[in-house]
Amino acid sequence: MSAAEAKPTPRRDWAVIVQKIGTPFASVVLAILIGSLIMWVSGYNPVKAFAALFQGSFGTPKAFGNTLLRSTPLILAGLGLAYGFRANLFNIGAEGQLFMGGLAAAWLGLVLVGQPWYVNLPVLLLAAMLAGAAWAFIPAILKARIGAHEVITTMMFTYIARYIVSWLVVGPLKDPGQIPQTRLLPAESQLPRIQGLFSDATLQAFPFLNLGRAHVGILVAIFFAVVVWLVLKYTTLGYENRAVGYNPFAAQTAGISVQWTTVKALCISGALAGLAGGVEVMGVHHRLFDQFSSGFGFTGIAVALLAKNHPIAVIPAALLFGAMSAGGGTMQLEADVPQKIILIVQALVIFFVAAEGIVTYFVKQRQKEATSNDAI
């Protein structure tokens, strides 16, 4: 390429935005099409299924509330994954940090009784973040110091976290009842429901505010999406994170500590995942039990990849998967399709996003052949 002149400036016009959104959008469409094909082959009616899924996720304010409910931890976990990916770290074990975040929030919520909500809520959320960060810390240190692959270590820590939670909810933190779960959090440690913020009169006047179980955690999630975006774009922390992710050698040469940046990135990623767990406990279940997360940490991977690791794009990506999860029940109920199809669609989305689309592949194939330079 040495003889080639610089390519023209990529201008931020609509064409560029369409191009950027194009691959993820096409990936989703393709995944849904193949998902439909699988349903059809298995003897189900995909139209009916997706209609039910849509009805169950966007059909009524309450259904939409459910979508928001499911999207909340997905946004936060997705942000965590995205922040890690930006440093070229794959925090596949976000689920474990999410568990520890949930544990911290539940435990502290049961201990801190009698405090006003404006003390409890921030303290609990912060505790969830710290717990998530702490759970990512050992894998982070192992990665930074000796290069132990974070995919294996964070995954192992996920299993360990699950067993810890499963022990606590049958043991020390068990509600004195039959069911293995903790006691209910006091009201001042619960994230309020959105519809609970409005008077009955307001709710009657604006029926779309009847969002059912959706809670203010969604606002926390959106707030953090903006924060992560600002951090990546306008702070040295974010700049160093991206530099290390793209080229650790150049970053090191520029005086950036690759090890320290790695530790920070994985811990911040863990903090966001931990927050997802805390929000889920405080906003949805109001207590801790074995199965409080339906794999939000893993779905967060798909969310981040679909959003191409852009913090703001994480929101719609999480909404998509949140909607599938919210509507999955209705789909199973009305079209009889097993909810597991959603996992399949999710996997397909990841394949397509990661493969940059078959079309781009063939285009690139020709370009790549062209860009090999004289010096090779």
Partner 1 sequence: MPLLELREITKLFPGVLANDHVSMRLERGEIVALLGENGAGKSTLMNVVYGLLTADSGEIRVDDKPVKIKSPRQAIDLGIGMVHQHFMLIEPLTVTENIVLGREPGRYGVIDFAMARQRVREISERYSLIVDPDAKIIDLSVGMQQRVEILKALYQGARVLILDEPTAVLTPQEVTELFRVVRTLVDEGLSAVFITHKLEEVVAIADRILVMRDGAVVGETTPEATDEIGLARMMVGRDVVLRVEKGTSTRGATVLEVDDLHVADDRALEAVKGISFTVSGGEILAIAGVDGNGQRELVESIVGLRRPSSGVIALKGKDITHANARASIEAGVSHIPEDRHRRGLVLEFNLAENIILGDHRTPPAAKNGIMHPKAIIELARKRIADYDIRTPSERVTAENLSGGNQQKVVVAREIGRDPELLVAAQPTRGLDVGAIEFVHTQIIRERDAGKAVLLVSLELEEVLSLADRILVIYEGRIVKEFADADADAETLGYYMTGGGGSKFADDPAGKSAEKPLTGGQA
Partner 2 sequence: MMLSNIITPDLFASALRMATPLALAAIGGTICERSGVVNIALEGIMLCGAFAGVAVTLAFGNPWLGILAAILAGVVIAAIHAFTSINLRSDQVVSGTAINILALGVTGFLMEIMYGHPGTTEAVVTIRPIFRFASESGNTTLGTIWHWINTVFLSHTPIVYAAVIIAVVAQWAMYHTRWGLHLRALGEHPRAVDTVGVSVLRGRWVAVLISGALAGLAGANLTLEQVGSFTENMTNGRGFIALAANIFGRWTPVGSYGASLLFGFADALQIKLQIFRGEINIPPQFFLMLPYVLTVVVLAGVVGRSVGPAAVGKPYEKK
Among 156, 237, 344, 350, interactor with partner 1 by CB under 8 A: 237
Position 369 contacts partner 2 (CB under 8 A): yes
CB of 206 to partner 2, least distance (A): 38
In the structure encoding, which two tokens stand for residue 310, read together?
């852009």
Enumerate the β-bridge partners of residue 105. Answer: none
CB under 8 A: which stretch of 2-10, 232-240, 278-286, 300-308 binds partner 2? 300-308
Query: x-or-dash pattern for partner 1, window 246-265, by CB under 8 A?
Result: xx-xxxxxxxxx--------
Residues 26-45 that bind partner 2 (CB under 8 A): 38, 42-43
In the structure encoding, which two tokens stand for residue 172, read together?
């020390």
Task: Kindly provide the residue ranges of all beta strands, DSSP E only, lying in 265-360, ordered along the sequence.
Answer: none
What angle in degrees, to the nearest 10, is found between the helix axes of 61-86 and 258-280? 170
Position 92 contacts partner 2 (CB under 8 A): yes
156 binds, among partner 2, partner 1, none (CB under 5 to 8 A by kind): partner 2
Position 310 contacts partner 1 (CB under 8 A): no
1 binds, among partner 2, partner 1, none (CB under 5 to 8 A by kind): partner 1
CB of 36 to partner 2, least distance (A): 14
In the structure encoding, which two tokens stand for residue 4, read together?
């080639």
235 binds, among partner 1, partner 2, none (CB under 5 to 8 A by kind): partner 1
DSSP-derived 3-state class of residue 198: coil
Position 19 contacts partner 1 (CB under 8 A): no
In the structure encoding, which two tokens stand for residue 218, read together?
């969604």
Query: x-or-dash pattern for partner 2, window 192-231, by CB under 8 A?
Result: ----------------------------------------
Listed in sequence order, the residues at least 6 apart from 363 whose beta carbon sits closer than 8 Å to its beta carbon are: none
Torsion (CA) 134, 226, 27, 362 in degrees, nearest 10: -90
Burial of residue 368 (number of CB atoms within 10 Å: 0-12, 13-18, 19+): exposed
In 3D, which of 229, 218, 242 has the Cα closest to residue 76?
218
CB under 8 A: which stretch of 54-62, 66-74, 253-261, 339-347 binds partner 2? 339-347
In 3D, which of 109, 93, 207, 202 has the Cα closest to residue 156?
93
DSSP H or E run through 76: helix 61-86
How many angstroms separate the CA atoms of 98 and 101, rounded?
5
Residue 82 or 106: the one with the smaller Cβ distance to partner 1 is 82
DSSP-derived 3-state class of residue 66: helix
Report the interface residues with partner 1, using CB under 8 A. 1-10, 234-237, 239-240, 242-243, 246-247, 249-257, 367, 369-376
Report the interface residues with partner 2, using CB under 8 A. 38, 42-43, 90, 92, 138, 142, 145-149, 151-153, 155-157, 159-160, 163-164, 166-167, 170-171, 298, 301-302, 305, 338, 340-348, 350-351, 354-356, 358, 361, 368-369, 372, 376
